[in-house]
Chain A
Amino acid sequence: MPTDETPVVVVNNLVAGYLPGVNILNGCSLEARQGELIGIIGPNGAGKSTLLKAIFGQVNIRDGSISLNGENITGLKANKLVERGVGMVPQNNNIFPSLTIEENLQMGVFQDPKLYDDRLDFVLGLFDELKKRLKQRAGSLSGGERQMVAMGRALMAQPKVLLLDEPSAGLSPVRQDEAFIRVSEINQAGVTTIMVEQNARRCLQICDRAYVLDQGVDAYTGTGRELLTDPKVIGLYLGTLGT
C-alpha cells in the first residue's frame, strides 16, 4: 500500500523509439508514488518494455521528460541512475552466466562494496533457496532461479525504485505465482516498483495501480482492482476466460 502521495517517478508525454522516424512511445505518461507497486500491461508491441528502458536510460528520448523525486533525469545513463537508487531487472540476459551466484550478487554493489554484507542478509532472507548455492555458476540455474538471482542483484544496491520487465515470462504456473509473491514482498519492504507483465490478471491482482499501454500511449489507468473488473480492459486485454 502506498505510504504517502509524493510522486517518486513521473513520466511526462514521453516520445521515444529505436529507428529514426519510428516512434514506439507516442506521448506516454506515468506516475509512481512513494511505496507503490505499479503494473504496466498491454498487447504485443504496445511499448511496455520500451517505456521501462526509456526510464532506465537505454532508449533515446525524443520528447517529453522523466523525473525522479522532483529532479529531471531525462536521458541520464543507467550507471548514474543506479547511483540515484534506481534498479532494473531486464527480461532476458539478466545474469552473468559464467559467474557464481555470489559473484553475481557482488556485481550488484560494485559501486559501493561496503554495503555487501548488510545487503546480502536482506537478499538471502527473501531468496532462501540461493543461500546453499552461492558458489554455483549462475549459468547452470533454471529459469525461475535465474530470475531470483537477477532480482537479488538489483536489490543489492538498495534501490528505492525497482523496474521489472516480465518477471514471470517463460515460467510454469507455480513458478509464476512464486515470482509475483516475491515481487509483492519486495514492494512491501518499501521499494517503489514498476512492473511490466504479460500475465495481466496476476499483475493486476497484486499491484496498487496499473497502466494499460496501447500503441505507445497510456490508454487506461486505475487501481489494479478497478482494471480487473473494467469490462473494456477485460474485453481487450484480459479475455473472458478464467476467473
Chain B
Amino acid sequence: MSSKKATPVKTSGLHIGAVEPGVKKTDPIITIDKVHRQFGGLTAVDVDHLEIPRGVITALIGPNGAGKTTLFNLLTGFDSPDTGSWTLNGRSIAGVPAFKLAKMGQVRTFQLTKALALLTVLENMKLGAKSQRGESFIASLFPFLWKKQEGEIAEKALRLLQKFKLDAKKDDFAGSLSGGQRKLLEMARALMSDPELVMLDEPMAGVNPALTQSLLDHILNLKQEGMTVLFVEHDMHMVSHIADWVVVLAEGKVVAEGAPEDVMKNPAVVDAYLGSHQDVDLGVITGRVSKGSE
C-alpha cells in the first residue's frame, strides 16, 4: 500500500532461452502438457506445453471464445480434459477435484461471482478456511474441540475484511452487496485458505473504475506476500500495469507469451486481439479532433 501513483516493480528473468509459446520457466509452479478439451465439434483448449512462473503475476489474455475460462476450469478441477496432464509443484494434479486442490494451495475466483447470497459476509468468509476441526460429525458435537479454532478463523476473516474495506458489511447478507463488492468478497474469501496460487477470472469485469485501483493494489499485495497470481482480463491497461508475464490464447492454443510490453507489440497479438488503434485516440482516427488540439 505505498503511494498510488508508483508503478509496481516488475519481475524479469522468468524464462529460459528464447521467448516463444511454451518457453521453459526458471521456476514453474504449474506445468501443462498436451491438454486438449473438445465441446462437440469445437476445440476449446489445445495447449501443447505451458509453464506458469512462480511468485509473480501472470495474465492470460485472448479474443472472445479463445478458451481462457475453459483452461481455468480444467486447471482447477471444475472440468476434465479429453487428454493431457498438468502438475502443481511437480505433483500431477490431473483429475484432482476442486476441493482437494484448494487444500493443496490453489484457489480461484469466478467471472460471475459465486457468493452464498443468504449467508452473511462473515459466514461466507469463514467457509473459506481449511482444515476446520468441527467439520466431522462426531467432532461437531463437542464444541471444546473446535471453539478455539473457530475464534481464530473469525479473527482472520475480520482482518481480511478490514483489508478489503468490507468490515462494515460483515453482518449483511452477501446477496445485498453490489457487483464490485462481491468481487472483493470473493477475493478475500479465496485468501482465507492461505493459498499458494490464486487464480482470478476477470477480476475487473463489471467493476466501477473507481474501485479498480484498490483491486489492483490488492492483487499486487498478493505478489508481495509471496503468492503466485494467474488472472484472465480484457482490460489491457490493467494487464500492462501489474502483470510480469502475459500468455496469449487464441482458438485454444498458446500463440504468444512474454513480458507485457513485448507481447503488446507482437503483430499477431495486435491483429487478432488488440487492434491497431490500441493507444490511439479514436477522436483523431474518426477525424473529430485534430492531433494538435490536446
Contact = CB atoms under 8 A, between A and B. Distances in A.
Interface stretch (A23-31, A150-158, A174-182): A174-182
A230 to B, nearest CB: 14
Contact of B64 (A143, A200, A202): A143
Given A142-B64, A174-B275, A239 B210 contact: yes
Interface residues of A, number: 36
Given A177-B275, A206-B286, A44 B179 contact: yes
Given A1-B288, A236-B210, A239-B212, A184 B282 contact: yes
B288 A200 contact: no
A44 B279 contact: no
Interface stretch (A7-15, A48-56, A76-84, A165-173): A165-173
B28 interface: no
B178 interface: yes
A237 B207 CA distance: 11
B232 to A, nearest CB: 12
Interface stretch (B89-97, B136-144, B162-170, B236-244): B236-244
B61 to A, nearest CB: 9
B288 A240 contact: no
Given A44-B178, A173-B275, A205-B281, A188 B210 contact: no
Specify the main secondary structure of chain A where it touches its partner: helix
B226 interface: no
B234 interface: yes
A87 interface: no
Interface in B262-281: 271-275, 277-279, 281
Interface in B138-161: none
Contacts of B178: 44-45
Nearest to B272: A174
A235 interface: yes
A206 B288 contact: yes
Interface string A187-217: 0100000000000101001101000000000
B158 to A, nearest CB: 27
A239 B275 contact: no
A224 B76 CA distance: 43
Contacts of A237: 208-210
B4 interface: yes
Interface residues of B, number: 39
B64 A241 contact: no
B271 to A, nearest CB: 8
A205 B275 contact: no
Contacts of A173: 234, 236, 273-275, 278
A239 B271 CA distance: 27
B112 interface: no
Contacts of A3: none
B281 to A, nearest CB: 5
B275 A178 contact: yes
Contact of B282 (A170, A206, A239, A242): A206
A177 B276 CA distance: 9
Contact of B210 (A43, A170, A177): A43
A93 interface: no
Given A44-B180, A237-B210, A241-B212, A172 B286 contact: no
Contacts of B234: 172-173
Contact of B206 (A44, A175, A225): A44
17 contacts: A44-B179, A44-B208, A172-B273, A173-B234, A174-B273, A176-B275, A177-B282, A180-B282, A181-B277, A181-B282, A181-B285, A188-B287, A206-B288, A225-B289, A235-B210, A237-B209, A241-B241
Given A205-B282, A225-B293, A237-B210, 15 more contacts: A45-B178, A173-B274, A174-B63, A175-B64, A175-B275, A177-B278, A180-B286, A202-B282, A205-B283, A224-B283, A225-B289, A239-B209, A241-B212, A243-B279, A243-B281
Q: Ordered nearest first, which 5 A-B pairs have the shortest CB separation?
A: A174-B275, A239-B209, A242-B237, A184-B286, A43-B208
